[in-house]
Amino acid sequence: MLNRRFLLTGSFIAGVLVGALAFAAAGHRVWAPAAAPTPQPVSGTEMADPSAEVSGLLPGASTTETAAMPAVRDRSDRWEAVDRALIALSQRVTALETRLAEAASASPVAAESDTVVAEARGTDQDTLVAAGVDPGQATEILRRQSQLEMRRLELRDQASREGWLDSERFFEELRDLEGDAGDLRQEVGDDAYDRFLYLSGQPNRVVIASVIDESPAQLAGIEAGDRVLDYADSRIFAWSDLRNATRDGERGEYVRMRVKRQGETRELLVPRGPLGVRLDSAQVDPKTDR
């Protein structure tokens, strides 16, 4: 992002400088004085009148030369104005470069950012074991996750060096990596996965924040504040779980949806497809929410 800001800023500066020089060059062409007339021989009676000095003409200057002097002074004043504008522009460019350099030095490098992301995605073995996962299985899960994180970093580095970061190719290869990694939920089972989410401080419940009027959700009796337990017999832990579940099966078919409302579990029948709800998430102890 910062590199793009430097490129945009450099383009802007170059454009302004080119424009200023073009303006100056154009002004030089416009303000160039007309070619002086070819001197013509004059007779004694046509010599400059001594009274011309009194009328404001310089001694010894012709009427044509004297008339051109205001244009010369005007041209000189304009060039001085261009010089002052270029000096001011140069000062602004220097100040902008200084601010950008300070911002660059204050920003973390990409490798450090990637490391932070990798650490945030990591899974703690003690938490897995506390959730009910066998220690040997937990060790194997962590080993594969470490390999996956390293492969993510290598993919990002390669894409950045070769110029296809954030392209369709990058996201396609990233999806392939994720697909090869397997799913923690499938490996440990829903109950252990639910406990793991809770023990690791992650949201493990989807909450109905609000219901759209006359929507399938309202007609089915869903209310704001309901915590979704499952949909069509599939446990729901995240927004994506509910979204994917509503898109499965045949649209319009009625399926069972279980929610927790004021401490009680309620079963509702809802049609497959968009429910018409706004969602929130929560962290709930699984021991008290079944």
User: Where in the chain are the domains?
Assistant: 2-33+63-106, 111-198, 203-288
Q: Residue 62's pLDDT is what?
A: 52
The per-residue pLDDT for range 124-178, each reduced to its tens digit, is 788 888 888 888 888 888 888 888 889 989 999 999 999 999 899 999 998 887 7
pTM of the shown model: 0.50
Write the pLDDT tens digit of every residue in 94-116.
Answer: 555 555 544 443 333 333 333 33
pLDDT digits (tens, 9 = 90+) for 237-251: 999 999 999 999 999
Provide DSSP, the chain: -HHHHHHHHHHHHHHHHHHHHHHHHHHHHHHPPPPPPPP----GGGSPPGGGTTTTPPTT--HHHHHHHHHHHHHHHHHHHHHHHHHHHHHHHHHHHHHHHHHHHHSPPHHHHHHHHHHHH---HHHHHHTT--HHHHHHHHHHHHHHHHHHHHHHHHHHHHT-TTSHHHHHHHHHHHHHH--HHHHH-HHHHHHHHHHTT---EEEEEEE-TTSHHHHHT--TTPEEEEETTEE--SHHHHHHHHHSS-TT-EEEEEEEETTEEEEEEEESS---EEEEEE---GGG--
pLDDT higher than threshold 60 for residue 53: no
Q: What is the mean pLDDT of the chain?
A: 73
CATH fold of 203-288: Pdz3 Domain (2.30.42)
